[in-house]
Structure 1
């Protein structure tokens, strides 16, 4: 292959490839020299009085793979001298840092692989010591997190009709939680704050003025009172929306509670069949395959009450999907509540009490149709991150890692 094509493949404008020194099974060694003859003095910022004073030998720099081989660039370590300032200095290459053995592009690739998995995995891919990859990772994460934070917050402040999502996830389930703030419209995670109690949320708003500068059209949350109180204090004009996933979960739970009361009164065979296939009661009927629909129909024949509650649950899904406007949705929600009241079952009454307490936030979905579905997906990423990093003890590094993990599509200028 001719030298000019290797120049294009390396994509390092400041270098000119001279020759390929060696190419073995796993390694490719390329000799290159700077295209310029001299550089500006670091003191006077001029190259007029700069002269070359020889070389200290060759620097060997690991670069991106070429032809699926490890590529090493051999570049001269040129000595320079400024006769005006009477100072000596070494040649500074843009593609690699001072006294570094790995190019910036190689470091970026290695860190990106480590962010998606672990330092040990990236080290195996690049055939490097894991400690080297970990040092690259530790150096890159704070800078990358700072860049991403600045970018996503600037977008959120400038975005019209901003829609925020607020939800918590467990560090240690039942004990310790974090709360994430998400830009649903921009598909980014804005920030991570410790705790989920009202005092924690208020403290965050007081210490982060940028948060109060946002102007959201709507905020999507679950039915935790602390979130709704906090958002009504920070953004009184924003539409507060109860997340559809969490609201629908209350209705599904009531169906399962009715199933548990019906189950003991059935014959042993019917009881075993209902217990084995009880999860078929949860999803919408239209999403089931033909075989599953047949089994579901069998379950519903066991009890008229179970069928009524299941139809009530299906009507709720239809109300969410098919209400054409906010005013029609309000009427439809009231009719759905009346349908549930006619069943007279403790589990249904408990669910209806919750629904009526939050009826405004639930119906508000039809003013601004957004859910926290993407937030739940990010929670899966966060849980995987926590398992990979064994719940990092350093809070700033833990937060930086999660923000990068959830905004991975914005990494390295992307």
Structure 2
């Protein structure tokens, strides 16, 4: 089956290329072509030469034509220049990257398939090997990220994320003002984080004013050591999380004491009723909680103290926050609940960084949401063995979101 060459030349859309013949064989479109030019520019002396040393044909996969696999059989000449007769050079084409056997329009199509999908999906759609698809993704993703204007870093968020839960963890740093990922660091130990932060130019580090985080001493020490003008801000969500953990520990202690007296049913299924906000309780949860609080004073006191601390999150000044904490500690020591004493001691230890919230009202809420996106990226690919591929994918998906 012979095809109209002028039509084919327009269809494939490649400049400086002349189609000499085309055929469809076994469902594959073969297009034979060569350069329109009979000269080349010497890469050494930058002069034009027309002396052809030899030529050869090489196949290049191109975008499908009429939904059929398309291969361009390109005649490539080697030229020789008088400046170096012993070393001929290949003529270059704008639509082919060096050492590649796929045209750049087809590479960009493959890259677009992988932007919100996986390497495996691109392989299944195009028939290109997974290794080649990954190489194409890395090339174009790096090109995009390298040409992106650097973001100004002022407010950051830092948190860990499990690459293999319970075994391996990475540290993710976010730009609070844009939501983009600044870095994905292998490991979450202090030395891992500091090692990366020292690679950031000093003028950038000096411009960072605050970093939100959980109650991690490793992260806190890393920020204080590497960012001379930054204030660590303890995230309010993690303060609430710590309170709920200590309240739950106290509940277990009280329930275990009650169960020893064979009264298990009286405090059965009150965990979530105790931890939820009062206004969020369902009817049956509220009923169980009221019955337990009526029967057991310690449960009532525990619930009262948990609800009382919620007022802390409505405070708008450092002075009021300090005063409220002293007031709250008095209640905790009066009711003598050991687990809440531990909570108060934790707050005492972190109080300077908790108070930084009133200077920089940022939290790890966006960070936790971004962590969920990263987990979805990881799950979609069933995990990553190569950390560089993982970091590149994360940075690209956040930029494209």
Give the structure-2-normalised TM-score. Answer: 0.74
Counterparts of 1:236 and 1:188, CA distance in 2: 23
Deviation at 1:111, TM superposition (A): 5.6
- Considering only aligned residues, what root-mean-square deviation do their CA atoms show, in Å? 4.4
Deviation at 1:14, TM superposition (A): 4.6
Q: For the structure 1 residues 301 and 190, does the alpha-carbon distance in structure 2 shift closer, same or farther, using more than 3 Å as the test?
A: same
Query: For the Cα contact (< 8 Å) 1:168–1:179, is it kept in 2?
Result: yes
- What is the SS of the residue equivalent to 1:100? coil
Aligned: 1:403 with 2:362 = no
How many residues of Structure 1 are paired with residues of Structure 2 in the alignment?
Answer: 386
| Residues 109-162 of structure 1 deviation map (CA, whole Å, 9 limit, x = unaligned) | 54675686654443223223xxx32145257648855974x678x735x44xx1
Counterparts of 2:300 and 2:65, CA distance in 1: 64
1:208 pairs, out of 194, 199, 205, with 199
1:242 pairs, out of 211, 231, 234, with 234
Aligned: 1:77 with 2:95 = no
- What is the SS of the residue equivalent to 1:371? coil
Q: For the structure 1 residues 229 and 64, does the alpha-carbon distance in structure 2 shift closer, same or farther, using more than 3 Å as the test?
A: same
Deviation at 1:163, TM superposition (A): 1.2
Query: Please, which moves more after superposition, 76-85 or 225-234?
Result: 76-85
Deviation at 1:342, TM superposition (A): 5.0
Counterparts of 2:384 and 2:110, CA distance in 1: 22
Query: Please, which moves more after superposition, 376-385 or 359-368?
Result: 376-385
Deviation at 1:217, TM superposition (A): 0.9
Partner in structure 1 of residue 221 of structure 2: 229
- What is the SS of the residue equivalent to 1:165? strand
Q: For the structure 1 residues 336 and 104, does the alpha-carbon distance in structure 2 shift closer, same or farther, using more than 3 Å as the test?
A: farther
Partner in structure 1 of residue 354 of structure 2: 362
Q: For the structure 1 residues 96 and 303, does the alpha-carbon distance in structure 2 shift closer, same or farther, using more than 3 Å as the test?
A: same
Query: For the Cα contact (< 8 Å) 1:17–1:31, is it kept in 2?
Result: yes
Query: For the Cα contact (< 8 Å) 1:179–1:192, is it kept in 2?
Result: yes
2:339 pairs, out of 321, 336, 347, with 347
Partner in structure 1 of residue 378 of structure 2: 385
Query: For the Cα contact (< 8 Å) 1:62–1:70, is it kept in 2?
Result: no
Q: For the structure 1 residues 102 and 261, does the alpha-carbon distance in structure 2 shift closer, same or farther, using more than 3 Å as the test?
A: same
* Structure with the greater alpha carbon radius of gyration: 2
Give the structure-1-normalised TM-score. Answer: 0.72
Partner in structure 2 of residue 92 of structure 1: 92
Query: For the Cα contact (< 8 Å) 1:78–1:90, is it kept in 2?
Result: yes
1:295 pairs, out of 275, 278, 284, with 284
Query: For the Cα contact (< 8 Å) 2:40–2:50, is it kept in 1?
Result: yes
Counterparts of 1:345 and 1:21, CA distance in 2: 85
Partner in structure 1 of residue 41 of structure 2: 40
Deviation at 1:387, TM superposition (A): 9.4
Query: For the Cα contact (< 8 Å) 2:163–2:383, is it kept in 1?
Result: no
Deviation at 1:81, TM superposition (A): 4.2
What 5-or-longer segments of structure 1 have no aligned partner? Answer: none
1:253 pairs, out of 241, 245, 258, with 245
Query: For the Cα contact (< 8 Å) 1:285–1:293, is it kept in 2?
Result: no
Deviation at 1:226, TM superposition (A): 2.9
Partner in structure 2 of residue 134 of structure 1: 131
